[in-house]
Amino acid sequence: MYSPIRSPEAPGPEVEGRRGEGVGKSETSNPSSFEAPLRPKRQQVARACDSEIDRLKQKVRELEGQLEKERTKSSLVSTSIPPQPLALTPPSSDSTPTPDSVGVSHNVVGSQTVWGGVMTSTGQSSRKTWYGPSSLFYFINRMNTYLSAIFQQLHPDDLIQLKSVAKTFATPDCNLAEDDDKADVKDASQTVSNEAYLTPTQEEYFLNLYWQSYHPTLAILDETEFKRHYRSLATKPGQPRKPSPLADIVIAVGMQVGMAAAQRNSSRALPATEVGKDDPSIAGRLYYRRCQRLLYNEQEAPTLMTVQCHILSGMYTCFAAFQNMCHIALSLAARSAHTIGLHVEPPSDLPIATKELHRRVWWTLYAFESKVCMKLGRPFYTDADPTSCELLAHDHEVASLAGSDFARLDEHATWLTYSLYQATLAQAARRVHTAFYDRYSDFYSGTTGQVIYDDPAALEQYAEFLSTIMKPLDDWAKSVPDALKMKRSGDGRSFSTDRSPIVVEQFVPLWLQRQRLLLELIYHVMKSNLYRPFICFPSTVTESPPLGHTCLSHAASAAEHCITLTQIFHHIVTNTDLLVGWHEAFQWQWNCALTLAGYLFACPTSDIAPSVRESIDLSIVVFEDFGRSFGTSLSAATLIRDLAIKIDFLAEIVRGSNPQTATPPSAQDAATDQFATEVELVPSANDVPFTQDLFTGSMDMSMAYSVDNSGDLDMLWPPIGNAGDQWWVYTQPPGPSGFGGGFPG
Higher pLDDT, 228 or 49: 228
In a domain, 515, yes or no: no
- The predicted model gives 57-68 an average pLDDT of 66
Asked if residues 647 and 597 have their Cβ atoms less than 8 Å apart, the reply is: yes
Binned at pLDDT 50, 70 and 90, residue 541 comes out as low
For the chain, what percent of residues have pLDDT higher than 70?
66
For residue 297, being part of any structural domain is answered with yes
Banded model confidence at residue 126, pLDDT cuts 50, 70, 90? confident
Closest-CA residue to 189 (of 259, 289, 300)? 289
- Cβ–Cβ < 8 Å for 275, 165: yes
Query: Is the Cα torsion angle 293, 297, 299, 305 positive or negative in sign?
Result: negative
Residue 628: pLDDT band with limits 50, 70, 90: confident
Q: Residue 295: inside a domain, yes or no?
A: yes
Inform me whether the pLDDT recorded for 334 exceeds 80.
yes
Q: Give 706's pLDDT tier (boundaries 50, 70, 90).
A: very low
How many domains does one find in the chain? Answer: 1
Does residue 212 lie in a domain region? yes
- Residue 198 forms part of a structural domain: yes
pLDDT for the residue numbered 515: 96
Average pLDDT over residues 587-614: 95
Rank 114-123, 595-604, 677-686 by mean pLDDT and report only the highest: 595-604
Q: Provide the pairing of β-strand 118-120 with 129-131.
A: antiparallel
User: What mean pLDDT comes out for the span 694-710?
Assistant: 29
Q: What is the structure's pLDDT at 309?
A: 98
The answer to whether the CB of 118 falls within 8 A of the CB of 711 is: yes
- Note down the domain range covering 200: 167-303
In-domain check, residue 414: no
pLDDT bin (cut points 50, 70, 90) of residue 735 is: very low
Tell me how far the alpha carbon of residue 562 is from its chain's centroid.
15
Q: Read off φ and ψ for residue 106, nearest 5 degrees.
A: -115, 165
Within a domain: 219: yes
Beta strands in 138-181 (DSSP E): none
Residue 438 located in a structural domain = no
pLDDT in tens, 176-194: 544 444 444 444 444 555 5
Higher pLDDT, 570 or 635: 570
Q: Higher model confidence: residue 192 or residue 368?
A: 368
Q: What residue type is assigned to position 357 of the chain?
A: L
Asked if the bond preceding 386 is cis, omega within 30° of 0, the reply is: yes
